Chains A and B, each alone.
Chain A
Amino acid sequence: MFKNIFRTTASLATRSVVITTRPTYVAPSFIRLYSASALNKEDVTKRVVDVIRKFDKSLANSQIEPKSLFHKDLGLDSLDTVELLVAIEEEFDLQLPDKVADELKSVGETVDYIISNPEAN
Chain B
Amino acid sequence: MNVNQRALIAYRNGLRATKIAFNNDTRMLISARERMREGMINPNQKLTKVQQIELLEGVSEFLRKNIVQGKKTGVDKDGKDVYHLNIHSEIELGDNDSVKKAENTLKASGSGCCGGSGR
Contacts and interface: CB of A to CB of B under 8 A. Distances in A.
**Does more than half of chain B's interface fall in helix, strand or loop, or is it mixed?**
helix
A85 interface: yes
Contacts of B9: 98, 102
Interface of A: 78-79, 82-83, 85-86, 89-90, 95, 98, 101-102
Contacts of B12: 82, 85-86, 98, 101
Contact of B16 (A78, A79, A95, A102): A95
Interface residues of B, number: 13
B40 A86 contact: no
B16 A86 contact: yes
A85 B8 CA distance: 12
Interface string B24-59: 000000000100010011000000000000000000
Contacts of B16: 86, 89, 95
B15 A82 contact: yes
B37 A79 contact: yes
B5 A102 contact: yes
Nearest to B5: A102
Closest 8 CB pairs of A and B: A86-B15, A82-B12, A98-B9, A82-B11, A82-B8, A79-B40, A78-B8, A86-B12
